[in-house]
Amino acid sequence: MVDPALAMEERENAGARFRAGLWRENPILVQALGMCPVLAVSNTATNALTMALATASVLLASAIVISALRGIIPRQVRLACFVLVIATFVTLTDLLIEAFALELHRALGAFLPLIVVNCMILSRIELMASRQPLPVAALDALGMGGGFLVGLLCLGSLRELLGQGQLFGHQVMPEAFQPWQIMQVPGGGFFTLAALVIVFHLLDRRLRPAGASA
């Protein structure tokens, strides 16, 4: 039997979870989770977009499966089960990207299989999917995946724009623009991320109604 009060709280939860991932608990800009791919493959907008989409789809698929299986997974081996499910979806994503976009597959290299150990995914599975009913888990995964995508895409676009004068491979800066080499190396990723986090928090403070607590 489902406690009506609990069901109510959960339904309210679902929408809130979705929005939380996008902004208040953004995995990149607030939680700083999954930083390894964030800094390494965000040198162009296309790489960032593919990486984020791959990560988000793995998260969503794993969250749905784990949430559906949460009644039968024994607590003692839950981590093994989580990793098994996540690894399966990562491998499938890897195979599909290799089949349909070999160039992108080459650009992302070792970071595609490394989605298995992305701590954002594991934390969402452990905190949400393994405890919440399917709709809440799915919306939470969508929100977090979306937040990851927004963060990574901002980072990738900025780095490509300043580092190559291009956006998604198209020249957008005037010819006279001298590309900043540093934006293309991992160090540039750190600087850009720092700048984004600062901008995010300034915006967040301005948007938040006065007197509201963090």
For residue 97, the Cα-to-chain-centroid distance in whole angstroms is 18
Residue 3 in contact with another protein, rule: CB under 8 A:
no
Beta partners for residue 171, in sequence order: 166
Tokens read off for 170: 């198209």
* Binding segment (CB under 8 A) for another protein, from list 99-107, 117-125, 133-141, 197-205: 99-107
**Which residue's CB is nearer to another protein, number 130 or number 157?**
130
Residue 6 in contact with another protein, rule: CB under 8 A:
no
CB 153 within 8 A of CB 49: yes
Q: Where are the alpha helices (DSSP H) in 45-133?
A: 45-69, 78-100, 102-108, 119-124
Residue 76 in contact with another protein, rule: CB under 8 A:
yes
Residue 109 in contact with another protein, rule: CB under 8 A:
yes
195 vs 140: CA distance, rounded Å: 27
CB 116 within 8 A of CB 59: no
Residue 71 in contact with another protein, rule: CB under 8 A:
yes
Q: How far is the CB of 89 from another protein (least distance, A)?
A: 9
Interface with another protein by CB under 8 A: which residues? 40-41, 69, 71-77, 80-81, 84-85, 87-88, 91-92, 95-96, 98-100, 102, 106-111, 185-186
